[in-house]
Structure 1
Amino acid sequence: MFVEKHVEDAIARGTWIFLGSLAISLTGFVFWLIIARIAGAESVGIASAVVSSSMIAATLVAAGMNVAVVREVAARGVRAFTASLTLASIAGIVASALTIPFIHALGYQDLALIASLLAISSTISIALLFSLIGFEKFRSYFLTVLTSSLAKLLIGVVLAILGFKILTPLIGYLSYPIVASIVALILLASSISFRGYKPGREELKSLAVLTFSNYPYMFSNQLLTMLSVYIFAYLVREAVPTGTLYIALMITLAITAIPNSILSAVLPIETRRNTNPFTESFRIGLALATPVIVAVASAPTLILKTINPELAQGASTLMILLLLSIAPLAALTTAITKSNKEGQVKNIVVIGVSRLILLIVLLPPLTGMLGIQGAALAFLTTNILLIPLALRIEPLITKPLLTLWSIQITLTILLYTTLLNELIKAIGALTLTPILMHTTNIFTISELHNTLKTIISTISHKP
């Protein structure tokens, strides 16, 4: 017997969100591969520090807006969309100004203009992209992300060939939010009438309150990624290790997108239908990610060397990030998503503030003492310590979390310590993991088959 209809819907809709994340990851992989090969590892390090500066500025003023936009647009419709666009525009202007001191602190003041443009365009694109999800236009979301990702890749390749060096990744990055905003606006305008809808005080207030409630958690997400890269760059002042940490984090987040995509689809769907598919969505999403987690964690050196040999020094960091962070991150995402759906502002704030405090306490000293390993340790420790909070909000995910996490740890240790070629280890992981999940009855082969069938049907179905 397959999962309930609303969970199947979440898987189907989440497929488009994941495909969007996959498009970002694959084009991003090729993008950085070309940049690292042609422009060098130092350019990757400088660019990652500059991009991190822009994302930090955007996060400081707009953290929490993405989830708030999805929830409010799903609940209130067009008026919430116009309110989100208004709020995002104001936040973007502030973010562009905040970027300047961050860039100057790193000594890259010549790149301040492009960093500011990246901050404002990224902030505005949040409102437009997540409004697509709020309106349940999941296929349109994917098409928007795919188009902007390809634009970023194409521009990056052309500039790399022309020898633009450090400007290559920066202009490529800037093209993504600009193209995404334009395409999303066109798709929304073609299917929804905005005539006569002005953002009312109630919609702006509701959106602002929910954004503020989600602020600590979403800000800590960026603290785990962009800000950890920025702090590492500031403390260490070495481009290559900074690039290694950035690439490792991006790979980790790409895999995290597997369970998070299904959970992201749950929020707008269940806001309208008032059901509770969170436990099953968590179990299925993390189960789908587990073979990939084990495969990549078993062959970290091979993956980083493929991008650039100089980045291979971070292989152990990559394994730690992948192995110990994705499962608790998915659990926290489940708790936050459920709390948003139910309007439990207190739960959202408690988790967000707790994680933010832990990161602020752990990240600087561990990075200072252990370098890139310390940044990874701060990343995983924070997520592990907050598991009890997530389980208190959604206790039914306890069994799938512990079972799947144990499988990830056990198989990775066995494969990583085996004296085999890393490619063989990765292939072995993709084979052994589904068998072990089936044996423990946490995710059977039949369920895997039905889930993949739903995904394939979703992709092949014509609108």
Structure 2
Amino acid sequence: MGEDQGGVSRVVRAGFWIYWSSIANNVSGFIYWLIITKVAGSEILGLTSATIGLATLVSGLIDLGVLAGVQRFLGKWWVRDRGEFAEYLWSTFLLKLAVNLAVGSALLLIGVAGVSISHYTPRMFELAGVLVILSTLGLFGAYFSSILRTDILFISSLVGNTAKILAGLLLVWMGYGFTGAVAGFILLNIVSGLIGFMHAVKLVGFRLVARVEKLREVVRAGLASWIPGLVAMLGMWIGVLAVFGSSGAVSTGYYYVAYALFSVISMIGTSIVGLLLPYLSSLEEGRERIASRVVSLTLVLVTPLVYMGLLYGRVPLSILGSEYVNATPILAVLLVASIPILIVGAVGNLVYAIGDYKRVLYIGLWQNIPRIILYLILVPLYHGLGAAASFTLGALAAIPYSLQVGSEYGFRVDSRRIIELLAVPGITAGIAYATGLDWIIGSLLIASSYLAYGRLGLLTRRDARMLALAFFSEEKLNAYYSRVKGLVDFILPG
């Protein structure tokens, strides 16, 4: 098995575990809100999402890009020197703990002082402060990604979300309202973060030291991604906060739920693309080939699912309640961004792994400055739909510059192939829409695009093998192939 093929398979495997972690988060979120809205009404969803959005925004402001920067060094030293790896990990942990503790405590004091700003109450500031402090534990998500042990990340998400549902629903049922709902998220952070902390301690030991020279390297690398990362965070969460500030909790809930469902679909690709940063950082050559191949595979995986979401997104939304069907147009607009964010993300991670920090900054600005400008214009006019349109237009705006930068480093995207990948499920979705097919039959028709990709050569045997090796050993894969050789040869000729 070639080095590129093995590397892509490992990234895809780890990416799928991240995706299942996302599924655990989002499915638990649907279950959470389904029960809470039945028990206490839909306004709680808006209050809770606005509180989480505030905490996430503040955490992004003070991160200094270290979660991205440290992955460069963790990915590099994991296979070379575990001692260096440990020093980078724990130095970064202590830095984040100090900063987050100071800022989170300030938010707590604002709440205790009884300060209210617009729709934001003192209790919201108090809870946001706790979440900011606990966001320190988010470092262990980067830790698992850097060592490609995202299977453990999935387990921590599963356990943490179970605790969130049990505790949060109990507190809401007891009459604690949105405070109880946010408490569930607090427990999620504690449980999943402690699992990561204990794993790291067991693997490399705990070191209560902060190496200044290593922190300087991490912060220097992080600052290159901090500005675009900060703008991205602003772009993501200003959507939630602006909708809440301009139209209240119910509209915020629509946007939040639509974004969660969009994430379920798009994360199949973005979770894989996101792992390019630590993996490519560990390589000396061939980075552009692996980045191009990963984008190609993720487009194959994601595109039919995007069409399913466009055509039948109302079905999962209606599970939360008939009023959430109103979020269907918001979901549709967000889904349009699914393809461009894969390309932009892959180029950004490739350039970052190479060390061209200036281009990392520019790619982030090209994507997210238009988003923020459009939020200010479109959200007051169209609320959640305006936020979704701003997000998607920002992703599209970054495509030309990203492709230009990528081409300088040998990254290639076949525009004709992308059109063909879009056209195949587009045709099946058009047939399903025109004939008014039931959502189950229509989804199966769109899913047949995967077979068509193989027959048309858009999914090659090499592609399929790399995907399969993400889940099976070469020995098992060969054994399975011998049993279904005729079918595989029909679907993947040549």
Do Structure 1 and Structure 2 share a fold, with TM-score over 0.5?
A: yes
Residue pair 1:367, 1:373 contacting (<8 A) in 2 also: yes
TM-score if structure 1 supplies the norm length?
Answer: 0.90
> What is the distance in 1 between the residues matched to 2:103 and 2:426?
40
> What is the distance in 2 between the residues matched to 1:74 and 1:409?
39
> What is the distance in 1 between the residues matched to 2:180 and 2:339?
35
Long gaps (5+) in structure 1:
none
- Aligned partner of 2:55 in structure 1 is 54
Residue 299 of structure 1: which of 312, 332, 346 is its match?
312
2:25 is aligned with what amino acid?
I
> What is the distance in 2 between the residues matched to 1:240 and 1:308?
13
> What is the distance in 2 between the residues matched to 1:366 and 1:411?
33
TM-superposition CA deviations, 1:35-58 (whole Å, max 9, x none): 222222111111111111111111
- Aligned partner of 1:34 in structure 2 is 35
Residue 419 of structure 1: which of 436, 456, 461 is its match?
436
Query: Alpha carbons of 1:193 and 1:93: their partners in 2 closer, same or farther (altered >3 Å)?
Result: closer
2:134 is aligned with what amino acid?
S
Q: 1:271 offset after TM fit, Å?
A: 2.1
- Aligned partner of 1:16 in structure 2 is 17
> What is the distance in 1 between the residues matched to 2:116 and 2:364?
27
- Aligned partner of 2:487 in structure 1 is none
Q: 1:216 offset after TM fit, Å?
A: 2.8
Query: Alpha carbons of 1:209 and 1:416: their partners in 2 closer, same or farther (altered >3 Å)?
Result: farther
Q: 1:359 offset after TM fit, Å?
A: 1.7
Residue pair 1:34, 1:160 contacting (<8 A) in 2 also: no
- Aligned partner of 1:308 in structure 2 is 321
Does 2:303 align with 1:286?
A: no
Does 2:330 align with 1:317?
A: yes
> What is the distance in 1 between the residues matched to 2:230 and 2:413?
24
Rg comparison, structure with higher value: 2
Q: 1:285 offset after TM fit, Å?
A: 1.9
TM-superposition CA deviations, 1:333-384 (whole Å, max 9, x none): 1011111211110111101222332122111111112222211111111111
Residue pair 2:131, 2:186 contacting (<8 A) in 1 also: yes
TM-superposition CA deviations, 1:202-246 (whole Å, max 9, x none): 21111112222112332233233322110111122x221110001
Long gaps (5+) in structure 2:
78-84, 478-494
- Aligned partner of 2:471 in structure 1 is 455
Residue pair 1:434, 1:445 contacting (<8 A) in 2 also: no
- Aligned partner of 1:87 in structure 2 is 95
> What is the distance in 2 between the residues matched to 1:260 and 1:316?
22
> What is the distance in 2 between the residues matched to 1:457 and 1:24?
28
Percent identity over paired residues: 20
- Aligned partner of 1:120 in structure 2 is 133
TM-superposition CA deviations, 1:177-223 (whole Å, max 9, x none): 1112211111111111344x732222111111222211233223323
Residue 429 of structure 1: which of 446, 456, 461 is its match?
446
Q: 1:407 offset after TM fit, Å?
A: 4.7
- Aligned partner of 2:382 in structure 1 is 370
Residue pair 1:24, 1:149 contacting (<8 A) in 2 also: yes
Query: Alpha carbons of 1:179 and 1:104: their partners in 2 closer, same or farther (altered >3 Å)?
Result: farther
Residue pair 1:296, 1:426 contacting (<8 A) in 2 also: no
How many residue pairs align between the two structures?
Answer: 455
Query: Alpha carbons of 1:66 and 1:146: their partners in 2 closer, same or farther (altered >3 Å)?
Result: farther
> What is the distance in 1 between the residues matched to 2:340 and 2:119?
32
Residue pair 2:95, 2:210 contacting (<8 A) in 1 also: no
Residue 132 of structure 1: which of 126, 130, 144 is its match?
144
Residue pair 1:147, 1:180 contacting (<8 A) in 2 also: yes
SS at structure 1 position matched to 2:70: helix
Q: Structure 1 residues 251-260 or 373-382, which shifts more? A: 251-260
Does 2:226 align with 1:226?
A: no
Residue 184 of structure 2: which of 155, 172, 191 is its match?
172
1:223 is aligned with what amino acid?
L
